[in-house]
Chain A
Amino acid sequence: MPRREQNLRLLPEVPLNKYHVDGVSANYSVIKHAGREVGRINVLPATVGLTMDVESRDLRGNIVARENWDWRGFKSSQDHFHPDGSVASRTYFNRQGRPVLEEVWMNVNGQLAPSMWELLNYRGHNYRFNTEDQLFLFFLNELISKDDQAILISDRHTLDYVVADVQGAKAKWGYLHGVHTDKPATPGRGHILNVYRTLLQDRADAFDGVFVATPEQQHELQQRFPDMTVRVAPDTTVPTTYDHQAGAQPTVIFVGRFGPDKRPEQAIQMMAQVVQRVPNAQLHLYGYAPDDATLANLNRQINKLGLKDHVIVGAYLSQRDLAHVYATADVIVQTSSSESFGMNLVEAMSYGVPVVTYNVPYGAANLVRNGDNGYVVPDNATKQMAAKVSKLLTDKRDWSAKSAAALAWAREFTYGRDDQVVEGITPINGRWNITQSVASAN
């Protein structure tokens, strides 16, 4: 359906001959009757005055009802609340405003939680579910019921057990977007991470096979599960390659979640050594922290190392904003303890940005050849990483060679080329088409 921008001042449901609508901040406006708040309109983030939701408030200021608006500008659901202010029920509407689904929050094992979903008059009947996953299974079965060519690829592994139960698919595959063991450096050792156990062990029979991004991960899986069909297909592509632009200062970037597995603190430690050799060097980190404490720790570390003028902890950026970051960066560093691939590195290389990474499974060796499109240093070797980063920032010839090689690598991941990387995956109308690949595996 097309988008219709719903300005909060033009909400048809507000009787403006009875109520005032007062703008309080960029985030919300208040609906008042004779000076008293009877409602509140919250603004869709990153918009000017578009409607996100409309609250109704009682004479004690409690939220008693809330209408949730879809970004596309239609009323998508309405909530009621329990007396403590937590959501009690949500009724979802179709585009005609008719109720189609009801969600209820009641006690489940002593905790308030969603306890029921009921599809209303779906093809003439009601259907009730105790969990959202049961509803999701019903949805997937309905989705493919009239498609005898349907292929399901399970990308989110908390849902593998739902996909496993789907009936009538032509094929079902799991796609690993992360490393699957707690000891990726030692193939065949370590435990399968919990989140992958459904796909790889408990319900493996329900799937036709598994996709991984690298031959190393494929090898590890085949070693453990000799009968499993495991195919390699990188989960990253880039549309094309771009020209690099010189930035104002020598700039190193880190792009990724600030999680413990990504170890951003090691990039900061490394930077302390880089600035001794390259005094105007900058490190920019882009991503989001899993919690406030992590962010506070990073800032504390930056201050402690005296790097306030050299390190910027930036926000999570959209792909469009990241384009500018990549285009003017000189080096991208990767300090993760493991990576199944490395989308960030492929994206950076498409702008001719050389990589300095630890030698960790699985992505590093597949994406970076030491001395070619960047450098690979041993895990945890911040000093060596600092040395290679400094060299790239100061040795123009070396940087140009590595940048050119990075572009060449990235070209292997452009849409027009992935068929060369992985046999059987062909671009159709600019989109990946892996159906032939998964279908042919049957």
Chain B
Amino acid sequence: MIFFINSIMQANKSGIEFAQLKRIELFNDHHEDYRLIVRDWDPKLHPVTRAAGVPDDKLINMFEYFQDAMTLPDHPVHLADLDFGVGGTHATEEATRFLVYNAQNQLVARVNFTGDDQVVTSTELFDGFGNLYRVDYYDTRGFRTLEQWYTPDNKIGTEAWLDVHGLPVVEKFYRPDNTGELTATGWRLTDRNDGKVYMFDTVEELTLQFLNDLNAEYWSQEHPNIFVLDRGHVADWGLLHLDRPAYTVNHLHNAHASGQDPMAPIVNNNYEFTLNAINGYDAIVSSTHKQSADVERRYHPTAKLFTIPVGVVPDRLLQAPRIPVSERTFGKMVVFARIAPEKQLDQLTKAFAQIHAAVPAATLDLYGYADNNNNYAAKRAVQRVIDANHLGDAVTFKGYTTDVDTAENDAMLYGLTSNMEALTSPSWKPSPTG
């Protein structure tokens, strides 16, 4: 089996997720089987993956794997489905939650919901003495997936992921360090097949167990398993410690050093471990020949180097008629990127300020969600340039969009100022549309 490993797959995807999904399209087109591995727990995972064209039986989330809950029927939970074990309750409704009281008007639970049909996402449970003792999370399929057990001073002490019978199968523990701060000190796994109980110090060790289990479950002499690691931190260590052989591929989805200088002494932190342990993997994939050559020149790895572009332009776009300039908005420049420091959109905005001075009709639309690091520093930097150059009417934060085609078909220019790109999928995607 060929596994594509990521930590997340969110509605607001970034380049790595797009690269995986395009690869999946390619595999589907070639009738090649695959499994998309999502390591982190996410109760809203399935609607996203289904919408992205990944059916439940091709998706393996690590927690759901251990919970034996990968494919479940959809039974979204509503308030009326919940049984608090207390008779005579009544509820009041707020914007995103119900407050449930017993007959004596004592708070029994807060029930958080989402959407017009008020699907339950979590319940905050109170004992008869007013203590919040547990928060339960429901995934979008209606499966009660996680219990968070609280301490008397209102912190999470233990988290327990449940199987479909409500039995804890993955547990995470928080204990005070010597400053009194609660930190995660261990993971406990009860194997869903043989009941063996394991203690792990870190999620990386738990992930290794998961990869070993996958490798054993999909073991084949004829078609050895291939693990393609698309997000390094998930398994760059784990893939080096598998119990049984597998073909391990580490995919560089970004410049491995500074974008300007592939020999810069300080490398991209996401790939520092990978590059120093480079020969522990069977192959390293870059998306351009230039990057493959840079890696070869710098590390001389015994690991095989492949160049595989991550962008796939679908036939639909290639064959679409070119949109003439006359049908586009005059002076419209667009960019599709997270508003993040490495994208340097403040520089793009500065450049645009000069364009705007020369061509007052020019406008710039920034598509992408804002990176929240340092309290949205990147977005604030762009805002400062907008304010300093009075570009409030010309530059617009459009937010994340899935409808790239419409925006690109209407634009005249694409701006790229990122200092780190492995292959800039949004910027060369405009080319086919003209």
Q: Is the CB of B127 within 8 A of A116?
A: yes
Say yes or no for A38: interface residue by CB 8 A criterion: yes
How many Å from the CB of B307 to the closest CB on chain A? 40
Say yes or no for A65: interface residue by CB 8 A criterion: yes
How many Å from the CB of A117 to the closest CB on chain B? 9
Q: Is the CB of B196 within 8 A of A13?
A: yes
Which residues of chain B are within 8 angstroms of A118 by Cβ–Cβ distance? 85
Which residues of chain B are within 8 angstroms of A112 by Cβ–Cβ distance? 152
Which residues of chain A are within 8 angstroms of B197 by Cβ–Cβ distance? 13-15, 39, 54, 56
Q: Which of A69-94 contact B (CB under 8 A)?
A: 78, 80-83, 88-89, 91
Nearest-neighbor residue (CB-CB) of B165 within chain A: A98
Q: Which of B118-165 contact A (CB under 8 A)?
A: 127-129, 131, 133-134, 149-152, 155, 157-158, 160, 165
Nearest-neighbor residue (CB-CB) of A119 within chain B: B85
- Type the 1/0 row for A1-43, where 1 means its CB is closer than 8 Å to any CB of B: 0000000000011110010000000000000010000110000
- Whole-angstrom CA separation of A91 from B166 in the bound complex: 10
Which residues of chain B are within 8 angstroms of A125 by Cβ–Cβ distance? 83, 85
Which residues of chain B are within 8 angstroms of A81 by Cβ–Cβ distance? 157-158
- Whole-angstrom CA separation of A33 from B208 in the bound complex: 15
**Given A15, A54, A91, A128, which contacts B84 in the complex, CB threshold below 8 Å?**
A128
Which residues of chain A are within 8 angstroms of B176 by Cβ–Cβ distance? 83
Say yes or no for A62: interface residue by CB 8 A criterion: yes
Which residues of chain A are within 8 angstroms of B199 by Cβ–Cβ distance? 33, 38-39, 56-58
Q: Is the CB of A64 within 8 A of B175?
A: yes
Given contacts A115-B133, A127-B85, contact A15 B198 (CB under 8 A): yes
Say yes or no for A108: interface residue by CB 8 A criterion: yes
How many Å from the CB of A225 to the closest CB on chain B? 36
Which residues of chain A are within 8 angstroms of B165 by Cβ–Cβ distance? 98-99
Size class of the B contact interface (CB-based, 8 Å): 35 or more
- Type the 1/0 row for B156-196, where 1 means its CB is closer than 8 Å to any CB of A: 01101000011110010111100000100110101000111
Given contacts A14-B197, A98-B165, A107-B152, contact A58 B86 (CB under 8 A): no
Say yes or no for A396: interface residue by CB 8 A criterion: no
- Whole-angstrom CA separation of A126 from B81 in the bound complex: 12
Say yes or no for A314: interface residue by CB 8 A criterion: no
**Given B127, B133, B185, B195, which contacts A59 in the complex, CB threshold below 8 Å?**
B185
For the A-B complex with A82-B152, A97-B167, A106-B127 known, give 19 more contacts whose Cβ atoms are closer than 8 Å.
Answer: A13-B196, A14-B196, A56-B186, A56-B188, A57-B199, A60-B185, A64-B171, A64-B173, A80-B160, A82-B157, A89-B133, A89-B158, A98-B167, A106-B133, A115-B129, A119-B85, A125-B83, A128-B86, A130-B128
Of all A-B residue pairs in the complex, the 3 with the closest CB atoms, nearest first, are A128-B85, A126-B85, A58-B186
B interface residues with partner A (beta carbon < 8 Å): 83-86, 127-129, 131, 133-134, 149-152, 155, 157-158, 160, 165-168, 171, 173-176, 182, 185-186, 188, 190, 194-199, 201
A interface residues with partner B (beta carbon < 8 Å): 12-15, 18, 33, 38-39, 54, 56-60, 62, 64-65, 78, 80-83, 88-89, 91, 97-99, 104, 106-109, 112, 115-116, 118-120, 125-128, 130
Listed by A's residue number, 22 A-B pairs whose Cβ atoms lie within 8 Å are A12-B194, A13-B190, A18-B198, A56-B197, A59-B201, A60-B185, A64-B175, A64-B185, A65-B173, A80-B171, A81-B158, A83-B175, A83-B176, A83-B182, A88-B149, A98-B166, A107-B131, A107-B152, A115-B127, A120-B166, A125-B83, A128-B85
